Structures are given as C-alpha cells and as structure tokens.
Amino acid sequence: MSEQQAEVTTDYEPRIVAFLCKWCSSAGSDLAGVSRIQYPSNATPITVPCTGSISPNYILSALKKGADGVLVSGCHIGDCHYIEGNFLARRKIHLVKELLGFVGIEQDRFRMSWVSAAEGAKYSQVIKDFVEDLRPLGPQTKVKAGRS
Amino acid sequence: MTKKRTGVFVCHCGNNIAATVDVKKVAEAMSNEENVVASEDYVYMCSDPGQNAVLQSIKDNKLDSVVISCCSPNLHEKTFRDNAKRAGLNSFTCEIANIREQCAWVHKDKAVATEKAIKISRSAVRRAGRDQALEPIAVPVTRKVLVIGGGIAGIQAALDIANAGLKVILVEKLATIGGHMLQLSETFPTLDCSQCILSPKMVDVSRHENIELMTYSEVQEVNGSVGNFQVKIKQKPSYVDPELCKICDDCAAVCPVVVPNEHDLGLTARRAIHIPFAQAIPASYTLDENACLGLNPVRCGKCKDACDVGAINYDMLPKTVTEEVGAIVVATGYDLYAQEHMNELGGGQIDDVLDGLQFERLCSASGATKGHVLRPSDRTVPKDVVFIQCVGSRDPANHCAYCSKICCMYTAKHASLYKHHVPDGRAYVFYIDIRSGGKGYEEFVQRIMEEDEAIYLRGRVSKLYRKDGKVRVLGTDTLTGQNVEIDADMVVLALAMEPSKGTADIAKTLKIGRDKDGFLAEAHPKLKPVESVTAGIFLAGCAQGPKDIPETVSQASAAAAKVIGLLSQPTLSHAPTVAKVRNSHCTGCEMCVTACPYNAISLENGKALVNEVLCEGCGSCSATCVRSAIEVKNTTGLQIQEMIEACLA
C-alpha cells in the first residue's frame, strides 16, 4: 500500500488554487516576481479584495472542481487594509477545517497564510512548503466532481 | 444574459514575459475560449502602438470587454482601463491577467509557465465575461490636510500645502516641532547651521494662518477614505497655557525634579517643567507629568506659585478632537538604532562612547557643552576620537541589513567639526566603504580626508572596552592587513537609522503597509515613491526610508504637490466596485450589517441597503450571506466560481 502510494506521488503535481488578497499577499507575490524568486508553478492565483470576502463555499468548490489544495493568503492579523477582514477569514479557517475533516478530506489540503506586501520571499516559501506538504497526500479525489 | 465579445491581448513585455511564456500559445489558447472574439500578442502592449492596437481591435471587433495579459495590475491596470475608455468601452470591463510577476518572473520552465499563464489569462477572461459596466461614484472633497510628524519633512509638507491655500493640521508627538534636525549642529556638506535654517521655518509654521499646530498630540483613530478621512487626535495636557507662558524660566528654577534632557540625549538634565530648547514652537513650557511629583499642589506646587502670570494649570485635561481631512501626509521620521543592541561595542555601557546625535549635541553651540567638544565623563578635551561607521547597518546576520545612507557623510562632518574644535586632535574613522553620492558630497569627504587630515581606516571594530580612563578600540585595517589598537578619549558610533518608535502603530492606525525593515512602504519603489498603497495617504522623510535632509525636503514637497493636486479636484471618484444587494434574495438577517467594517450597510424596510460612499468593496458582507444576496460588483460569487474552474481546467 505504502509502496503504491509512493509510486503515485513521484510524478504527481498538486494543483493549487491560491486566493490572495489584493493589498498584502498579491502584492507580496508581485514582490517575489520583481525579485525573481523562483517557486513551483503549482498554484494559480486568484486575487480578491480581501480574505474576508472568501466564502467557505469557494474553498469547497475549488476542491470539488479538482484542486488538490487551496491556499488563502492575506494581510497579517492587525494589518488588514479593510480593518478586520482577515479576522473574519481566520474565524472561517476553523470552520472549514472542521468541515473538511467531517467529510473525510485531509485538513492539510487547506492552508491559510499571512504574507505582507514586503514578504516576497515568504510568499515563495509558502508555495514551496504547501506543494511539498501536499505531495504525500496524493491527488484529491474525495469530493472531485465526476470521479469514478 | 447576452454573450460577451471579449478581446485578449497578450504582452511579451520585451523578453520579460516572452522568455519564459510562449505568448503566441497563450493568445492562441485564449482564442478558443468562449466569448473571446479576438486574441492577439504584441511586444509592448503598454507602448503607444500597443495601446493603439488594442483600441483598434476594440473598434474593429466590436469588443465589449478586454483582458490584457501582462504585468501586475498595480502597474498598468489604470493605463489599460483608460485606454479601453478611450475606445468607448467602460473601463471596468477591462481586466488584467498578471502573467509577469505571478508567472513569467518566478518560473523557469517554459512549458509550465505557459500553462500557468493560460490558466491566469483564462481566469481573467471568465471574470470579464460577467463584468458589468460601472461608473465611478463622485464624492465630495474636504480641503483640509493632516500632516503627522513635525520634523523637517512634516514642516516642509505643511508649509507647502498651506501656502497653496489649503488648511493643514500639523500633529507632533513631542511638545515642540523641529524633530531630529534641530538636534544637529551643522549640516553636510555646506556646514550650514541646522538651527539657523530650520528655526525660521518653525516660526513660519506657528504663524501661518492656514496651519493649526497640535503638539504633544497623537493620532488615535483614522476612518473614512481619500477625500474624507475622519481622524481622532488626542492632545496630552502640557499643564501650561502657551498663550500666557512668558518663557521666563521662573517655574523651572524652583522645580525640584531633575531628569535627563531628551533634546540633549541625556547629556544634560532638565526639570519636570521645562522648555525643550530655546527656540521651541510653541514657545511655552511643558510640565512632564511622568516626572512631576504628582501634579498635586499639596505635594509640591512650587512651579504654580512661582508663575506670575498664572499660566500653570494642574487641572488641565487631555483633549480629544475629531477632524475631517481630505488627505494625510505621514512624516514620522526615524530613531537611531539603540546602542544597547551593540554588545561588542559596549552596549551603551561605556563612558565616552556616544552616538551620532549625542556628538551633534556636543558640537552644537546650544548643546550640552555650549559648543566645546568635551568628554562627557570628565569634561576634558579629547585628543583621540574614533568614529565608527556602519554600526548596526549592513549587517543582515545581526542587525539591520540596509545601508543607513547618511552615516558616511555625517561621520565625515563629525570628523571635520571635531578637527575644527580641536585642531591638534586626531580623528580616526573606521569605514567599510565610503558612500558619498550627492551634490558636493564626494568633494566634502575628500576635503575632510586631505585638509582636515582625518585618518580613514578601512575595516570594522571588533571590540570596545574601558581601559585606564580611555576607551580601547580593537579593529582591523583591511588595506594593510594590520590589527589596529587605539586608546581613544572618545568614540562616536554612526548607528543605523530605524523607523521612529510608534511607526508600527501609526501604520496600523492608517492601514498602510511597512517594508521588511519596518519603514513605511511606498506604493511603487520607482514610480510612486511618495504615495502609500492607500489612496490619499502620502509619505515623506525618513519614515519611508533613511535619507538626508535635501532628499527629505524634496520628498516632503513632492508629497505636498500630490496632496495639492488631489484636493484641487472638485470631486473625487470612489471606486464603484462596491457591494450590491439583490432585494429578491435578501431576508434581512443582518449578518452583513454586523460583518461590515465600515458601517456601510443598514436595514431599510427589511432589506439590506448599502451606502455606496462608505463601502470600500472588501466583500466581508458577501462571505457571510448564505443566500448570496449581497455581492461586490465585478467580484461576484459566480465570477469567482468560474475563475476557480478556469484555474483548474
């Protein structure tokens, strides 16, 4: 079983949807770009105004549409451009994690990080770490629509 | 819903994108997307011919929406939206797919980068597919400006703005304006007397009809947005009425409390009731309540008895005022990196080891020794003085990674001032490199080396310790490869500049970002050096990064020009990407009302109602609405769902 799993994970590239807030994490990822800090291409970014605007529905929907992992990244707590949006987002993390566990999806498929506009290197590290942490989990098939 | 006619324009950005992304392949992939009726690539989409090509395509293909796959929207979203508008499109139907910063620049493998660029572009196409035409919301402008910080940057910005006819509130934390510049003895490279050039500006501030000065005050709360900020300012009680105070010094003469004088960085002492320095603005004494025996006439009350004009009032209370302003300039300045951090250099515990500002106070005619350079420990004239540069700067492993920019110059100035005071003394300067970029700067340093015979030693100092009444300096001269030992009478450390204490707090209050070193972050390092990321908030001086006085003044004037330009418009436009309620879906549960950080949502006739001027479009409301009855325009749930799909297809 474990051998089989190891075999699966070698050529498996996790597909990640990364929701980035416009003010901090998206700007942080821009800085990673300007600084030419290389990181894996697994995560496709979707920029939203604020992490507070991310409904748990989006996270579940991304998994359902075939994502192996979902990242939500916003301003550091206390630094939210919209005063308290990231507090609202943080509250939802627990909800989503619980829910994932309840429906039998590995909770580690969902990750939240705080990356400021000055943290280009941190953004690249977040992506690197997430990709590496997703590999052992293998492809996500539990809620993927249309699975056999 | 009628089908959209979207055009996709993929930029090569010279080789910036094209080197790692197969732009032709991206354009081709996009041409197969639903709604896309034109898909092109071009070498520089933001150039005039590039923009014209987009414009022509909009007309030729009767496009109703466009996607530009190019650099970050922070760079050219406005460019391309304006261009779309020029072609008759609504600017909010133009979307940017960031395939440069978020793709081409961070990946090397062309195949995977191209694949990701396709996903990002496709995602933008889907978003554009449901974009609505929106019109900016006009909001009135308050023609009043808040300037935070009363150093040279704040003073310059306040004066420039006030001279343009706008009202200014200048808020300073301390009891007087002037900032660090007023502590300086002379300024490089001209050796102008710092006080002589600054004091007249301070007086101008105090007399200007358009400037309201609030010293001993701090900004506590900021709400609202560009054009209409509401700020709450708290003024601490000075316990002295500046209108009545005659600065006669009778109060200080009887005050029994002696504490270190901050203006002289502890080299002198002051009383609890004091005037920070002779030229203080406002020209008034201040009672330091932390030092005072207790503001209790039963315990002391000597100063009040001594004051003939009755200026002292122990019952003065803190005052909180709320002001409405249209723009804010943040000029909160710097502090020196604390000596305590430098353990190998004594950690602030060795007598006669001073920081740069303390040395300024020793040289200053108004300073601790009335302009005579004397050792603080025994008031003798020091004959061997060692100046050490880059203390705490350029040391990513232990201290600050950055160069503090002004230390090479002020150390040369210090060496020069010392030699002018003590012609037979020896000035040694330990340096890593000499960075003297600036008008007349290099010549100045050369002059100090040649004419003033300062001894420059390239190398770092490893240790300082007290020995036989002197400070033993152990260092290396890396040009000769020799170890150097100097028994110095005095050592001056050119400590790094760091953001002033409280910068983090003010950044939080204003919701503006800081960079990795804690300085306030500009919106763009090259093209928006005085704007913060938040519209209507501008930066000036060392709060944004280490800089010298001419640069600070330039930036302050630049910030002032930006403010004047902004507030000269009759109305400002507020982004129309605000929340919108679908009444048919709204149940009046009020979840959104509580989620809104701006109190922009109220309940009217059982349905949520958005005040569009207050709404900032964060979308916190939409995430709480179980029926998707409230959504931010052009970032709707349907758009996000389709973007997710596009990212995974």
Average pLDDT over residues B253-270: 94
Kindly report, residue by residue over B76-106, the tens digit of the pLDDT. Answer: 999 999 999 999 999 999 999 999 999 999 9
Specify whether B12 is located in the same domain as B125. yes
* Reported confidence tier of residue A81, pLDDT bands at 50, 70, 90: confident
Residue B504 inside a domain? The answer is no
Does A10 fall in a domain?
Answer: no
* CA-based torsion, B167, B173, B174, B180: positive or negative: negative
Does residue B377 share a domain with residue B345? yes
Q: Give the residue from B123, B162, B174 showing the smallest Cα distance to B557.
A: B162
Residue type, B498: E
Q: Which of B16, B70, B20 is nearest to B40 (CA)?
A: B70
- Pick the residue from chain B with its C-alpha nearest to A15: B648
Q: Does A83 touch chain B (CB under 8 A)?
A: yes
* Digit-coded pLDDT (tens) for B42-53: 999 999 999 999
Q: Is the dihedral angle over the CA atoms B482, B485, B489, B493 positive or is it negative? A: positive
Considering the domain architecture, whether residues B491 and B371 belong to the same structural domain is answered as yes
Q: Can you give the pTM of this predicted structure?
A: 0.84
Residue B498, Cα to own-chain centre: how many angstroms? Answer: 12
For residue A67, give the nearest of B72, B102, B648 by CB distance. B648
Which CATH number do you get for residue A64? 3.40.50
The answer, yes or no, to whether residue B466 has pLDDT greater than 90, is: yes
A36 touches chain B (CB under 8 A): yes
pLDDT score recorded for residue B649: 86
Q: Which residues of A touch B620 (CB under 8 A)?
A: 50, 52-53, 82, 84-85, 88
Contact A82 B620 (CB under 8 A): yes
Residues in CB range of A122: below 8 A, 6 or more apart: A28, A113, A115, A116
Residues B418, B407 share a domain? yes
User: Same structural domain for residues B389 and B483?
Assistant: yes
Q: Which residues of A touch B74 (CB under 8 A)?
A: 27, 30
CA-to-CA distance for B295 and B292, rounded, in angstroms?
6
Determine whether the interchain pair A44/B119 forms a contact, defined as Cβ–Cβ distance below 8 Å: yes
Biggest alpha carbon–alpha carbon distance for chain A:
49
Select the residue from A16, A30, A75 to test the B interface by mutation, using most B Cβ atoms within 10 A. A30
A126 touching chain B per CB within 8 A: no
Residues B493 and B375 in one domain: yes
Which residue is associated with the tokens 């829910």? Answer: A99
Distance from CA of A148 to the nearest CA of B (A): 18
The complex's ipTM works out to 0.93
Question: Is the pLDDT assigned to residue B630 strictly greater than 90?
Answer: yes
pLDDT at A2: 46
Chain-centroid distance, C-alpha B266: 28
Mutate to test the interface with A, among B640, B642, B645 (most CBs of A within 10 A): B640
Tell which of B478, B498, B518 closes a domain. Answer: B498
The span from the CA of B454 to the CA of B270, in Å, is 35
> A62: nearest CA in chain B?
B644
B115 within domain boundaries: yes
| Cβ contact, residue pair A47, B98, below 8 Å | yes
Helix pair angle (A120-134, A25-34), 10° resolution = 100
Do B486 and B462 contact (CB within 8 A), yes or no? no
- Partners of B497 in the β-ladder: B336
Split at pLDDT 50, 70, 90, the class of A7 is: very low
Q: B160 lies in a domain?
A: yes
* Domains: count for chain A: 1
Give the pLDDT band (50/70/90) at residue A82. confident
CA distance B96 to chain A (A): 11
CATH number of the domain that residue B292 is part of: 3.30.70
Give the model confidence (pLDDT) of B154-167 as tens digits: 999 999 999 999 99
The CATH number for B535's domain is 3.50.50.60
B72 contacts on A by Cβ (under 8 Å) = 30, 33
Q: Is B647 close to A17, i.e. CB distance below 8 A?
A: yes
A96 pLDDT more than 90:
yes
* Residues B47 and B153 placed together within one structural domain of the fold: no
- Separation CA B6–CA B8 (nearest Å): 7
Query: β-strands B607-610, B334-336: how paired?
Result: unpaired
- Predicted pLDDT of residue B2: 63
Position B149 scores a pLDDT of 98
Residue A9 forms part of a structural domain: no
Backbone phi and psi for residue B16, each to the nearest 5 degrees, phi listed first:
-60, -45
Task: Tell whether B325 and B222 lie within a shared domain.
Answer: yes
All residues of chain A having their beta carbon less than 8 Å from the beta carbon of residue B98 are 30, 45, 47
Residue B73: the pLDDT is 96
Confidence of residue A146 (pLDDT cuts 50, 70, 90): low
- What are the tens digits of pLDDT across the range B23-36? 999 999 999 999 99
**Domain residue limits at B255:** 237-316
Contact A53 B619 (CB under 8 A): yes
CATH number at residue B605: 3.30.70.20
Indicate the number of domains in chain B: 5
Query: Which two structure tokens, joined as six digits, stand for B411?
Result: 């150390």
pLDDT band at A1 (very low <50, low <70, confident <90, very high): very low
Q: Which domain holds residue A125?
A: 15-135
What chain B residue is nearest to A64 in terms of C-alpha separation? B645
B37 and B182 co-located in one domain: no
Q: Are both B34 and B86 inside the same structural domain?
A: yes
Residue A3: predicted pLDDT: 46
Share of chain B above pLDDT 70, in %: 99
Beta bridge mates, B537: B328
Per-residue pLDDT averaged across B398-415, rounded?
A: 97
Neighbours of B340 (CB within 10 A): 10
pLDDT tens readout for residues B498-511: 999 999 999 989 98
User: Does residue B642 lie within any of the structural domains?
Assistant: no
CB-based contact A55 B622, cutoff 8 Å: yes
B613 pLDDT tier (thresholds 50, 70, 90): confident
B504 interfaces chain A, CB cutoff of 8 Å: no
The minimal CB distance from B101 to the residues A30, A49, A85 is found for A30
CATH of the domain at B33: 3.40.50
Residues of A whose CB is below 8 A from B597: 82-85
Each residue of A117-134: pLDDT tens digit? 999 999 999 999 999 999
User: Which residue in B100, B131, B126, B73 sits closest to B648, CA to CA?
Assistant: B126
Residues B381 and B386: their CA atoms lie apart, in Å, by 14
| B252 in a structural domain | yes
In a domain, A4, yes or no: no
Q: Looking at CA atoms only, how far is residue A61 from chain B in angstroms?
A: 7
Pairing of strands A16-21, A43-48: parallel
Residues within 8 A of A (CB atoms), B 120-159 only: 120, 123
A41 pLDDT more than 80: yes
Indicate whether A5 belongs to any domain. no
CA atoms within 13 A on the CB side of B76: 23
Assess if residue A23 is contained within a domain: yes
Contact B107 A41 (CB under 8 A): yes
Q: What is the mean pLDDT of residues A31-60?
A: 96
Across the interface, whether the CB atoms of A52 and B116 are under 8 A apart is answered: no
Q: Does a structural domain hold residue A140?
A: no
Last residue of some domain: B464, B498, B532? B498
Option in B106, B511, B616 nearest A39 (CB) = B106
Q: Would you list the DSSP string of B133-173?
A: P--PEEEE---EEEEE--SHHHHHHHHHHHHTT-EEEEE-S
Average pLDDT of chain B, as a whole number: 95
Q: How confident is the model at residue A6 (pLDDT cuts 50, 70, 90)?
A: very low
Nearest to A36 among B105, B521, B533 (CB): B105
Query: Is A27 within a domain?
Result: yes
Contact B648 A62 (CB under 8 A): yes
Structure confidence at residue B258 as a pLDDT band (50, 70, 90) = very high
The pLDDT value given to residue B189: 95
How many CB atoms within 10 Å of residue A58? Answer: 23
Same domain, B448 and B421: yes
In this prediction, residues B630-635 reach a mean pLDDT of 97
pLDDT of residue B173: 97
Q: pLDDT tens digits, residue range B524-538? A: 888 899 999 888 999
Does residue A31 sit within a domain? yes
B513/A119 CB distance under 8 A: no
B232 and B245 share a domain?
no
